[in-house]
Structure 1
Amino acid sequence: MTPEEVADMIEANLDDAEATVERARGEHDDDHLRATVVCPQFEGKPLVQQHQLVYDALGEHMTTDIHALELKTYTPEEFADL
């Protein structure tokens, strides 16, 4: 999967999410990715649950097409404070 396809899938499956996905630096495999996801659904959820929402949005692709995903998740308010 391309980074753009992964971003599109996250955004399609998480309401009001904004995802930026790129190849992880220093990795030569196409299946190592880095993603930043901003989503209001993360509000009040611990980091583990936020990441699980993203994994759920990607479904079986997490085990078939994506070998590694470096993930940063933020609520819109958290992201605005960066």
Structure 2
Amino acid sequence: MAMAGPEIEELIKQAFPDAKVIVTDLAGDGDHFGARVISRAFTGKSRIQQHQMVYAALKGKMGGELHALALETAAPK
């Protein structure tokens, strides 16, 4: 069963309470999402490290319940 956008957002916000998170259903099919995550936790981290942090926040659901997630991450300016 696929994850819903609000569930993705909730998992990310649990891991990064300060984060600004925008989750978008890219294809309108409830299966392909995009997420923009801005958090102070990303300060000084490479883009790869930032994405790994978000994937860790999804608690193993990536590739299973969550089929596809296009990530855009950044530290606040």
TM-score, structure 1 as length reference: 0.83
CA distance in structure 2 between the aligned counterparts of 1:28 and 1:57, rounded to whole angstroms: 24
Question: Cα deviation per residue 1:27-54 (whole Å; 9 max; x = unaligned)?
Answer: 2542210100000010011100000000
Q: Percentage identity across aligned positions?
A: 39
CA distance in 2, matches of 1:36, 1:64: 21
Aligned to 1:20: 22
Aligned length: 75
Distance 1:42 1:17 in 2: 10
After the TM superposition, which residues 22-37 of structure 1 pair with which residues of structure 2 at under 5 Å, given as runs?
A: 22-24=24-26, 27=27, 29-37=29-37
Structure 1 stretches of 4+ with a deviation exceeding 2 A read: none
Instruction: Give RMSD over aligned pairs.
Output: 1.2
Helix, strand or coil at the partner of 1:5: helix
CA-CA distance at 1:63 after TM superposition: 2.3
Q: Secondary structure of the residue that 1:8 maps to in structure 2?
A: helix
Structure 2 residue runs of 5 or longer lacking an equivalent are: none
Structure 1 spans left out of the alignment, 5+ residues: 78-82
| TM-score, normalised relative to structure 2 | 0.88
SS of equivalent to 1:62: coil
Contact (CA 8 Å) 1:15, 1:41: kept in 2 or not?
Answer: no
CA–CA separation in structure 2 for the residues paired with 1:67 and 1:29: 11
